[in-house]
Structure 1
């Protein structure tokens, strides 16, 4: 996770504070050296952050909008949105407009499938062909 990538601090925000507290406790158990705090206001939590992550349904089809105002992204370096579809959410569009490097939830979806295939099938697959087929289908993922 983020601790393995060198993150030293994690700021959590959830509409249900008890869920944020439970997550913080679980994360602290596996990454005791990480500073984990819980915030009420996402814009205040994002201030001075290196990266911003959306792990909510906000931005999915049927849940339009963004969980973080564009102005709160200023100064961050990167953004990740766990939303699979649409590929370009308002959150990621705002992040890109602010110059952040962005990673879409579609990549999460794609590599979950790639790794599941390797685990269960035990056979290689052509990632480039699969990516092309998935991105060029007219069906909704």
Structure 2
């Protein structure tokens, strides 16, 4: 059936096919995503409890916060959440709209509100950065925790 079409039509299909492949190979976010997935293959699973005890200090985070943050940040990523570590920069996983949804989920889960300045102060979209911010806000609202 394709042989019946003119060479011009076949050329258009070939052009768009090659353009799609080139975009997929060259897109920085897609490249970071593929590299990140390769890194995860060699990682063991880390429980929420181990995530806190191995990677955080009690001054840095409340025990329950890192596991919940990790679950929310990784829930729609397509990777095993228990392989995500505190310093993985996950910013490339979200478009602007998805980041707003994540923000709303975090605010609802921890009963906090983020200011624009607080969100902009995050120098990376990591579990550690978000955990520190939430822990600080929780401690400010409930001194002694």
Same structural fold, with TM-score higher than 0.5 when normalized by the shorter chain? no
Asked which structure has the greater RCO (Cα within 8 Å, sep 6+), the reply is 2
More helix by share: 2
Using structure 2 for the length normalisation, give the TM-score. 0.24
Higher strand share: 1
For the pair shown, the structure with the greater C-alpha radius of gyration is 2
Q: TM-score w.r.t. structure 1 length?
A: 0.24
